Chains A and B, each alone.
Chain A
Amino acid sequence: MTKTRSEVMEWLVNRIAVDIGLPAAKIPLDVNLSRYGLDSVRAIEITSDMSDWLGVEVSATAMWDFHTVTELVDAVMSGKALTSSPAV
């Protein structure tokens, strides 16, 4: 992984902000994102984009298990949210 924690955080917050239609500054870091109307299929789209941006495969359903921005970023940085299989 070539990105730092803060870069991943910034990317994710911006990506979610566009998707739920709020300014990035208003995205809470420790609130369950489903409260903001982020649905499960859209969550897959975000993790798919994240894999593309990071160049490593984030589990498509990572946002189903790590519900807040902080939890997801931690899980990505620690490798818990990454899949072991290579992209085919």
Chain B
Amino acid sequence: MTNPMRTSSYGRVLEHALGDPLDPATAFSFRRILEADEAEAHPADAFSSLAAHRLNVCCVPIEHGGALDSYEGLAWVTRTLARRDLTTAFSYALNTFLGAEPVWVGGSPEQAAQLARRILDDGALVSIGFSERHHGADLLSSEVRAEPVEGGFRLSGAKWTIGNATRGQLLTVFARTAAAGGARGFSIFLIDKAALLADSYSCSPKIKTMGLRGGDVSGIELNGCLVPPEALVGALGAGLELTLRSFQISRALSPALSLGAFDTVLRSATTWLRGRQLYGASALGIGSVQAALSEGLAFALIGEAVLLSSARALHLAPKQANVSSAICKFIVPALVDQVLPGVTMAMGARSFMREGHADGIVQKMVRDLPVAGFGHGSAAVNLNMIAMQQRGLLRRRPRVVDAGSLELARALVDFEAQLPPLEMARLGPVSSSNCFVAALPALRGLVEGLEGAEPTRSELLNRLERVEAMLEELTAESALTMRSQSPEQYSVAARYARVHACLCAVTTWLSWRDKPNAIDSYRSGEWLLLGIDGLLFDRRDGPRQWQWVDRTYSLLRTLTDDHRLYSAVEWGLPHQ
């Protein structure tokens, strides 16, 4: 079956098909989303709407008959949904992708084909059954076990805090296959609930949560389920390795949840404050309000650079993907966390109300956003992933201009440009290079050569010198800090992630400022300086350079007034 849909271009189609979320008549309106949230009810309208748009098709790679040709495309689709509702964005397509990805990466062709049919033909939702009540991210303590028996494997034990455990039709399960456990003691199984005996499993009730209140986050208990030998995904004992390889795909994509939700928070704050009259004028005229919103925009643009380049790296630099995905999953939610309080504070009490402006969507987004941070790999999990490879990455970093790294970095920020197919076999459990960090000397050369870009040029050169100094510090510290999972090691990892984000943003700006339709206040680059100072230098007393705020605020107004996503890319939003 050939499918005319392509995930690479579907985000833009979906954006307009779903309509303006402020229009209460649409299935995806903030009003309906909030009604479901208030009732802690499954967002049925939104789900039906996505089923009608065949969104599940976006999660199935084209080689298995689906539309998924670009992981950057899947990030855009997720961001488009997350702008409206995190509950749906998380639990509809993305969650199915999470559940299915070990099969796409390590399953047999027959297994992948069968799973694809269930998703494409039956609209099946797939869950990821990895976490357990007492073990969280400590996968090697998992108690669910699979014993080889005649006719397959018998699975027993409970998985818990699983998205769509109850509503979903299939799930992948991480299970102990050697009593002693260890790195080769676990395996992954694909289970189709329809093929199980009804009394061999039971679902536990939906867990009460602060956010994602309409989402099905529940558990499943397997009571000696018999599954056929073909349910095993990859080799027996390959569960951990397959997990490390496949999660780097979803960890590069899932921060689209944070960015989509934050776009709505920033947009709602800006539009509400525009109409708010204080002291005889619009509240948007107040300097501290402009500063908070501008810093929000700068961080949204930096977050986008990290997100989209990480998704593109899966295709263009799979050997780098392990570290770029971990950085992405750590830093993008952290960036949003850093600027969110300023934006909601500028809105004041309105950010807290479950009614009023935009039907009170901001408070829902604020309640839902933490899930994008801790879900599917918390900050600690990702810092650990960065930490285990940072010493080598830092030590091997080229100190001289490396044209290859610059070329790769520029390809990673050429958002929406066509991508080669993702070669799953090249995704390894550790990265040996990072082109953004390796491109630093070349980026300095490019900035030095900028014409007509003062004062941004000299300010940016100064910042890049400081980045160079930071990298030297990190290299020295990482050579000393040997104990794993120590605060010192995680501190190096966190600062390395911030440097990576900074260099992604610089590369993005250098590419996108030259586009013919670039907005002047984007091209002049004050947003980048504002963002870099917030990103690299812990500045708790607000931005110091007023003209940077002023120009970034101008960019915010242009993007908001023109109904465009807070993005380097020209991405129009439907509006009434």
Contacts and interface: CB of A to CB of B under 8 A. Distances in A.
Contact of B429 (A61, A65, A88): A61
Nearest to B482: A18
A51 B392 contact: yes
A41 B384 contact: yes
A52 B396 contact: yes
The residue in B388, B396, B483 that gathers the most chain A C-beta atoms within 10 A of its C-beta is B388
Contact of A40 (B182, B387, B391, B392): B182
A40 B389 contact: no
Contacts of B483: 18-19, 21
Interface in B418-465: 428-430, 432-433
Contacts of B385: 41
B140 interface: yes
A45 B396 contact: no
Interface in A44-88: 44-45, 47-49, 51-52, 57, 60-61, 63-65, 87-88
Contacts of A10: none
A45 B182 contact: no
A48 B389 contact: yes
Contact of A45 (B183, B184, B387): B387
A7 interface: no
Contacts of A39: 140
Main secondary structure of the interface of A (DSSP, over half): helix
A42 interface: yes
B482 A61 contact: no
Nearest to A53: B392
Interface string A1-37: 0000000000000000011010000000000001000
Interface residues of A, number: 24
Contact of A19 (B317, B396, B482): B482
Contact of B392 (A34, A52, A88): A52
A61 B428 CA distance: 10
B183 A64 contact: yes
Contacts of B395: 52
A45 to B, nearest CB: 4
A47 B430 CA distance: 10
A23 to B, nearest CB: 14
B241 interface: yes
A8 B436 CA distance: 32
B547 interface: no
Interface in B533-568: none
Contacts of A87: 319, 432-433
Nearest to B389: A48
Contacts of A65: 184
Interface in B31-85: none
A44 B326 CA distance: 15
B240 interface: yes
Contact of B182 (A21, A34, A52): A34
Contact of A60 (B140, B182, B391, B428): B428
Given A52-B392, A61-B183, A88 B432 contact: yes
B202 interface: no
A86 to B, nearest CB: 9
Interface string B381-404: 000110111011001100000000
Contacts of B223: none
B384 A60 contact: no
B183 A19 contact: no
Given A48-B392, A52-B396, A43 B387 contact: no
B484 interface: yes
A44 B184 contact: no
A21 B433 CA distance: 29
A44 B140 CA distance: 15
A48 B430 contact: yes
Contacts of A47: 430
B429 A45 contact: no
A62 to B, nearest CB: 11
Given A43-B183, A52-B396, A60 B430 contact: yes
A44 B484 contact: no
A42 B183 contact: no
A45 B389 contact: yes
A49 B432 CA distance: 10
B477 to A, nearest CB: 15
A65 B482 CA distance: 23
The residue in B183, B184, B387 that gathers the most chain A C-beta atoms within 10 A of its C-beta is B183
Interface of B: 140, 182-184, 240-241, 317, 319-320, 384-385, 387-389, 391-392, 395-396, 428-430, 432-433, 482-484
Given A41-B484, A45-B387, 9 more contacts: A18-B483, A34-B182, A41-B388, A44-B430, A48-B388, A48-B430, A52-B395, A52-B396, A87-B319
Closest A-B pairs by Cβ, 5 of them: A45-B388, A64-B183, A40-B183, A88-B319, A52-B392
